[in-house]
Amino acid sequence: MNLSSMVFLLLVSICSLITSLNLLSSGCCYFMDWELISINSASVEMALIIDWMSMMFMSFVCFISSMVLFYSGGYMSGDYNIGRFMYLVLGFVLSMLLLIISPNMISILLGWDGLGLVSYALVIYYQNEKSAGAGMLTALSNRVGDVAILLSISLMLSLGGWNFYFYVGEESLNSSYVVFLVVLAAMTKSAQIPFSAWLPAAMAAPTPVSALVHSSTLVTAGVYLLIRFHSSLMTSFASTLLLLLGCLTMFMAGLGANFETDLKKIIALSTLSQLGVMITILSLGWATLAFFHLLTHALFKALLFMCAGSIIHSVGDYQDIRMMGGLVNFMPISVVCINLANLALCGFPFLAGFYSKDLILEVAFLNPLNEICFWLLALATGLTVCYSFRLVYYSLSGDYNLSSVSFVSDSETLMTWPMLGLSIGAVVGGSAVSWLVFPSPTMICLTLSMKLLALVVSLVGGFIGYVLNLMVENYKLNSLQFYPVVVFSGSMWFMPLLSTIGISRGVLAGGFVYTQLGDGGWSEYYGGQGIYSTLMKSSGYLQAIQENSIKTYLIILLIWLVGLLLII
């Protein structure tokens, strides 16, 4: 089943890539709509938009999901419920495609809610308590965004239709609160600062799910929506808000990834950091750059997750990087791919990430930017390289920390071929997309120090990340001297704790009290059981009263007859 779905999705990917190339060169855009109902001239439609952006995104999504589906045939082999898994992932891809091609607020809800629902089903795939909690966190955080979109649907009624593709940039859309609601929805879906608790928690899902969902498609849906809305975004306060929150997210996630020990959580925080980069550059006004970074990031992040899955599979299903090491000697293909992905993430020259990341940094420094965001951008770039090299030390090049008997190898071709396929994308994807999307290069005019800032920060970050984490067993743990700072940074500034325990502990305790007193107590006394016992007792009385001989009634009958005769 994974083979057929891979072939199908690969074909769809190639077709949509060719379509997007056609549309790029011709500048056409096809809009198809089917009017379902028209209520007093506000028409509810099912609309599709075929323009170069949606076709290119669709081709990347289909390519990555075809590789991931092929990979999951190897990763999830031997799993009892693999059929359910495949169908869930295909349902996820369907929801994502529906979201990509819909310019209508109501039909985007089909894809948006579908994404939330299917990602919940995928996160709770392994049925244990941790997955249940993580799934609930994911679903409820995404639900806030769904509510925001529903509210914006009701607000857009006054515009006469729900095709936001035509209303962005217009005064009628800017003057309503639709933009803020859409920003809220995008923030929850893309896990920006108040709502970022779900992304590391959702790593309880199987690794192919993380590769597809939490790296390239689900979390970029919010960014994609904002890209569609960017002309309205620029004219409102939302752009300032997004800039600050994006920079903070970027920095916090980069900092947190340096102190994290779970392999998948490091990659999740890396995704979060790159999402912050996308949101930042979007809020500065460069929507096409954000889209470009979205595409290239999808490629190398999916590759990174797949390599992580291969590593996790071969060390025996545990994810702690302190228990891995020296894997470069045993798994050459996975190590090559993870190296490519890491270097692409850091912005190594001429790989995929370089074109998008370097351009973003230079354009951001060109813009009038406030100093906080400037320093956050620079620091986050350095932190990215820092945690990437830390990961390389701990898992690939450090000492061998596994148990004494282990089978670490790259023998599963179902997992290595998709990784190699995606690594081709990671190498050439950036340059190819940049030559397609940006027909003429941007003029960058910066001072020498600013131009070198990205390079210097990356080199220093890489050096720090490698050297600071060199570990031999009898070293002292230096982070114990800075323990409060380490805990604060490593637990994502306590926001997951605040947003979950803070809200749910009192409510759950109150629920327990209600269950005891109310549901098992007074509510039963005045409700079901109480009414039942009252009815039984009273009908018992009535039955006792009516339990007479027939003769009593006959005597009464005779008395009445005689009485009637006497009266009449």
Partner 1 sequence: MTIFNFWLFVPLFCLCCGLLAFVGKRKHLLNVLLSLEFIMVNIFWFMAQAFGHLGSDLYFVLFFLTLAACEGALALALLVSIVRSHGSDNFGSFNVLSC
Q: Indicate the residue among 237 and 560 with the shorter CB distance to partner 1.
A: 560
Cβ atoms of 209 and 145 within 8 Å: the answer is: no
DSSP calls for 518-530: IIIIIHHHHSHHH
* Window contacting partner 1 (CB under 8 A); options: 49-57, 71-79, 390-398, 544-552: 544-552
- The type of residue at 394 is Y
Q: Does 551 bind partner 1 (CB under 8 A)?
A: yes
Pattern of binders to partner 1 over 500-539, x per CB under 8 A? ----------------------------------------
Q: Indicate the residue among 18 and 555 with the shorter CB distance to partner 1.
A: 555
Give the count of residues interacting with partner 1 (CB under 8 A): 12
CB of 538 to partner 1, least distance (A): 16
> CA–CA separation, 335 vs 340, rounded Å?
8
CB-count burial class (<10 Å; 0-12, 13-18, 19+) for 556: exposed
* Window contacting partner 1 (CB under 8 A); options: 142-150, 268-276, 364-372, 550-558: 550-558
CB of 566 to partner 1, least distance (A): 13
Q: Indicate the residue among 497 and 554 with the shorter CB distance to partner 1.
A: 554
> CA–CA separation, 321 vs 390, rounded Å?
10
Q: Indicate the residue among 403 and 546 with the shorter CB distance to partner 1.
A: 546
H helices of 76-189, where? Answer: 82-100, 105-123, 129-155, 164-167, 171-174, 178-189
Of 157, 485, 509, 558, which lies in the binding site for partner 1, with binding defined by CB under 8 A? Answer: 558
CB of 533 to partner 1, least distance (A): 21
CB of 555 to partner 1, least distance (A): 5
CB of 531 to partner 1, least distance (A): 23
Q: Does 546 bind partner 1 (CB under 8 A)?
A: yes
CB-count burial class (<10 Å; 0-12, 13-18, 19+) for 471: middle
Q: Indicate the residue among 440 and 552 with the shorter CB distance to partner 1.
A: 552
CB of 556 to partner 1, least distance (A): 9
CB of 537 to partner 1, least distance (A): 17
Of 472, 548, 566, 567, which lies in the binding site for partner 1, with binding defined by CB under 8 A? Answer: 548
Q: Does 549 bind partner 1 (CB under 8 A)?
A: yes
Burial 56-85 (b: 16+ CB within 10 A, else e): bbbbbbbbbbbbbbbbbbbbbeeeeebeeb
Q: Which residues contact 166 (CB under 8 A, 6 or more apart)?
A: 103
Q: Indicate the residue among 518 and 540 with the shorter CB distance to partner 1.
A: 540
Pattern of binders to partner 1 over 279-318, x per CB under 8 A? ----------------------------------------
- Angstrom distances, CA of residue 72 to CA of 3, 79, 82, 416, 452: 10, 10, 9, 11, 41
Of 36, 460, 531, 554, which lies in the binding site for partner 1, with binding defined by CB under 8 A? Answer: 554
Q: Dmax of the chain from CA atoms?
A: 128
Of 129, 317, 473, 547, which lies in the binding site for partner 1, with binding defined by CB under 8 A? Answer: 547
CB of 541 to partner 1, least distance (A): 13
Rounded (10°) CA dihedral 104, 106, 107, 111? 120
Q: Indicate the residue among 11 and 554 with the shorter CB distance to partner 1.
A: 554
Of 485, 509, 535, 555, which lies in the binding site for partner 1, with binding defined by CB under 8 A? Answer: 555
- Angstrom distances, CA of residue 82 to CA of 9, 62, 85, 190, 377: 18, 20, 5, 28, 42
Q: Indicate the residue among 550 and 567 with the shorter CB distance to partner 1.
A: 550
H helices of 190-326, where? Answer: 198-201, 207-212, 218-228, 230-234, 238-258, 263-283, 287-314
Q: Does 543 bind partner 1 (CB under 8 A)?
A: yes
Of 32, 467, 498, 557, which lies in the binding site for partner 1, with binding defined by CB under 8 A? Answer: 557
Of 39, 470, 550, 566, which lies in the binding site for partner 1, with binding defined by CB under 8 A? Answer: 550
* Window contacting partner 1 (CB under 8 A); options: 242-250, 470-478, 497-505, 548-556: 548-556
* 443 phi and psi angles, rounded to 5 deg: -85, 115
Cβ atoms of 311 and 331 within 8 Å: the answer is: yes
CB of 545 to partner 1, least distance (A): 11
Cβ atoms of 70 and 1 within 8 Å: the answer is: no
CB-count burial class (<10 Å; 0-12, 13-18, 19+) for 555: exposed
* Window contacting partner 1 (CB under 8 A); options: 58-66, 288-296, 399-407, 555-563: 555-563
Strand partners, 320: 262
The site for partner 1 (CB under 8 A) is made up of 543, 546-551, 553-555, 557-558
